[in-house]
Chain A
Amino acid sequence: MQAKSRKSLTALAAAPIILSLALTGCGGSNNGGNAGSSQSAGSSPSASASPSGSASASAGASASPSAASGAPVTIDVWANKFEDTTTTWFKKWTDEFNKSQSNIKVNLTIVPGDAWDQKMKAAQAAGKAPDVWTVSYNQVANDAKLGQIQALNDLMDPSVFDDLYPNMKDFVAVGDKFYAYPWLVEPSTVLYYRKDLFKAAGLDPEKPPTTWDELLADGKALTKKGVFGFSTAQVAGDLGWSSWGLQYNAAGHLPITDDWSKADVQNDGYKKLLTFYQQAYQSGIMPKQQLSGYTDAAPFGQGKIAMEANGSWAIGQLRNSFKDMVNNVGVAPMPTIDGNPNNTTATLGGWALAVDGKSEHAKEAAAYISYMLADDPNVVLDYFRGAQFSKFTPRKSVDQAMQSDPVASKDEVRAMIAEKIVPYSKPEPIYPWDISMAFSTAIESAMKGTDVDKALSKAEKDINDYIAKNKLAGTNPKMQ
């Protein structure tokens, strides 16, 4: 009895250490095996197709002997949790896929965004990563380089890639290989405003602001007790990506040179950008503490905010959850630094499905991706319908199908975003997240009162430090 309680005490005492070390401690055997490419700069992308030696399926029918013998092959699929309608779509069509044939059985897991990274790391360390997972476009090139995902050219019917818009092919391509199949794109920054509040404040509801100065002035006019005139990202984590479009707008480029060799922030554009954020925050038209994260339009829907920068997905949220409010909502491109409507105001983010680099059933995994995203346009069209057409398709055939959809074809917001925002948008950068964080920390510190020049100098130093320490110069996978 005593021994037993001692034992559980020991286990208890060891628990924190187990927690901190177990995750990292059990993946050891995964590293053995073949001579992969070295970690150093310039490992060629094609090396990533075979980093895992025996584990990686050699892309062919031989990978699935069990399929022939009758027992279905089970593949695991992890999908990020987005809107509820997305989850519904995933479940519905995964069921349909399982019913449509008897060789492949898909286990779908919806993983919440906060838990994604640690769950995935733990699974990868244990050698139990899912066969198919959702990947963000800005991760594709790096994941491909590191062998986390494998090329789909030999796994899928090559003609499905011809259906993609040319600029979308680039989102998932490294060299001449495609490493994921795109699912959707969505502009990161769109301006939402309340027409009724515009009227009440004496502003013309059909004339949303077009320059940053107008935006600040309108925000001031709209701010009153209980309602903030303007809202956008205000913590470094959200600013990191939501400001990319505005960075292109102000400076014409991002804070690092194309070959990733040094920081590039000391210019007027970046100064104006930081000043804009600083003025928006300090003038009191924004809440001093964010009411909710950047991607969440709930405070706007609840009437606490009169104008808001948010992604195109927000219109879906407003239409699904704030039906009374929708008629009062105006949607416009994010104002530009100089009022030129042809400037970039947003980056195109979005998601794709990819096959894990170590998947033992790569062929089956790719068949699932084809079914969900690449074959019948109606499958993925059902997703866009659920999202209230707030997202955009990378496929020509889906766009055609959408034009014959009665709801989509009459949707003015959709048409506006498709005509005035998407064509000028840029893809998301693929450099390490630390770079974006170093810069967005500068924006946040300017908002919190640091001098703009000082904030930029610190960002420049941090970015250059990171480049030097991590030998980043010349490692851009898109430049090789």
Chain B
Amino acid sequence: MFKKNFRQDNATAYTMLLPILVLLTVFVVIPFVYAIRVSFYNWSFYQDSTFVGFRNFYLVLTDRLFGKSVWIGIKFALMVVPTTLILAFLFANVVKNISPKLSGFVKTSIYIPTIISGIVASVIFVFIYDYTGGLANYVLGLFGQEPKAWLAEVGSALPSIAAPAVWLGFGLTALIMLAGLHDIPESYYEAADLEGAGAFQKMWYITIPLMRNVILYLLVTGFTAQISQYELSLVMTNGGPLNETTTPNLYIFLHFRNDVMVGNSIAASLLLFVVLGGISAIIFRVLNSEKAVDG
């Protein structure tokens, strides 16, 4: 009797797992294994591929531009992720305390950039940064300043691209933060009030510790997403000036586009995979996720 039940359960479980397993196999496992194989070849679409061992990896690793692009990706993420998190945290606190009717409206409006594609956002910001007719230089002109080459100066290009990234990521981050805030039991704050804790103390000792898992999630996904960002720099600067905005994915993309052999871009993709995995592991390690103790 028991045995029969056991089998029935198994069949159901496997049936339910099957779609996911098939999808994962077709779209993740097979391409991944195949990509690893191809990365050892000089792969051309018209001629026979030749086995070249670790040569593609050697070429990528000794390319100064690849190292630079990873560093640029990290710099970019360091600009975008903390800014987004802090802004979203402040904003979520404001929204939490306003009337439900108004907050519904605010939440909707703040979410709008999230559904705008990165390409559209890039084009909007290209207009804003236009040298002669753009909004940014118009505002500078009001203060009597000379126009600035936002996207062409080595120093300002990356921050100029970080701005739309913050704008794009802000809505979703704020909503997730807000959900996290709502999850913290009100009783903790009431108790703190009785003890005479100030607003800053409540934030530091109650809100932030209880939001740890939310923040961890946002940090990991944020870093991964921002280091992989490429369409903003592709549209706005095409990686320039002097490769200062060539993020790792843009590096891979440009190689894929220009190179005759594709092995190089695949090797670079696999190396980027390692880099991203490493960064995520570091964040997990540092923040040391643990389940929140709530009552």
Q: Chain B nearest CB: distance from A207 CB in Å?
A: 28
Q: Give Cα A142 to B50, complex, Å.
A: 18
Binds A, one of B36-44, B81-89, B179-187: B36-44
Residues of B within 8 A of A406 (CB): none
**Residue from the list A16, A18, A444 in contact with B242, Cβ < 8 A:** A444
Q: Give Cα A226 to B149, complex, Å.
A: 15
Report if A479 contacts B (CB, 8 A): no
Report if B66 contacts A (CB, 8 A): no
Chain A residues with a Cβ closer than 8 Å to the other chain, count:
59
Residues of B within 8 A of A11 (CB): 23, 27
**Residue from the list B16, B62, B153 in contact with A288, Cβ < 8 A:** B153
Q: Chain B nearest CB: distance from A117 CB in Å?
A: 4
The closest CB in chain A to the CB of B249 belongs to A20
Report if B159 contacts A (CB, 8 A): no
Q: Give Cα A25 to B30, complex, Å.
A: 8
Given contact pairs A17-B28, A25-B34, A235 touches B19 in the complex (Cβ within 8 A): no
**Residue from the list A27, A118, A448 in contact with B256, Cβ < 8 A:** A118
Residues of B within 8 A of A146 (CB): 44, 46-47, 260
Q: Chain B nearest CB: distance from A198 CB in Å?
A: 21
0/1 string, A1-44, CB within 8 A of B gives 1: 00100110011001011101110110110110111111100000
A-B contact count (CB 8 A): 144
Q: Chain B nearest CB: distance from A467 CB in Å?
A: 13
Report if A237 contacts B (CB, 8 A): yes
Q: Chain A nearest CB: distance from B29 CB in Å?
A: 10
Secondary structure type dominating chain B contacts: loop
A125 and B27 form a contact (CB under 8 A): no
Residues of B within 8 A of A34 (CB): 48
Residues of A within 8 A of B129 (CB): 289
A291-309 contacts to B (CB < 8 Å): 291, 304
Q: Give Cα A440 to B60, complex, Å.
A: 21
Report if B45 contacts A (CB, 8 A): yes
Residues of B within 8 A of A117 (CB): 257-258
Residues of B within 8 A of A10 (CB): 19-20, 23-24
Residues of A within 8 A of B76 (CB): none
The closest CB in chain A to the CB of B50 belongs to A39
Q: Chain B nearest CB: distance from A222 CB in Å?
A: 16
**Residue from the list B46, B48, B152, B258 in contact with A290, Cβ < 8 A:** B152
A22 and B27 form a contact (CB under 8 A): yes
B positions within 8 Å CB-CB of A: 16, 19-20, 23-24, 27-28, 30-32, 34-35, 38, 42-50, 59, 62, 129-132, 147-154, 228, 238, 240-243, 253, 256-258, 260-262, 265-266, 269
New A-B pairs, 18, CB < 8 Å, besides A28-B38, A39-B50: A10-B23, A17-B28, A20-B269, A21-B31, A24-B266, A33-B48, A39-B42, A48-B46, A117-B258, A121-B262, A124-B45, A125-B45, A125-B262, A287-B131, A288-B148, A289-B149, A441-B242, A448-B242
A positions within 8 Å CB-CB of B: 3, 6-7, 10-11, 14, 16-18, 20-22, 24-25, 27-28, 30-31, 33-39, 48, 51-52, 117-118, 121, 124-125, 129, 142, 146-148, 226, 234-237, 287-291, 304, 357-358, 432-434, 441, 444-445, 448, 469
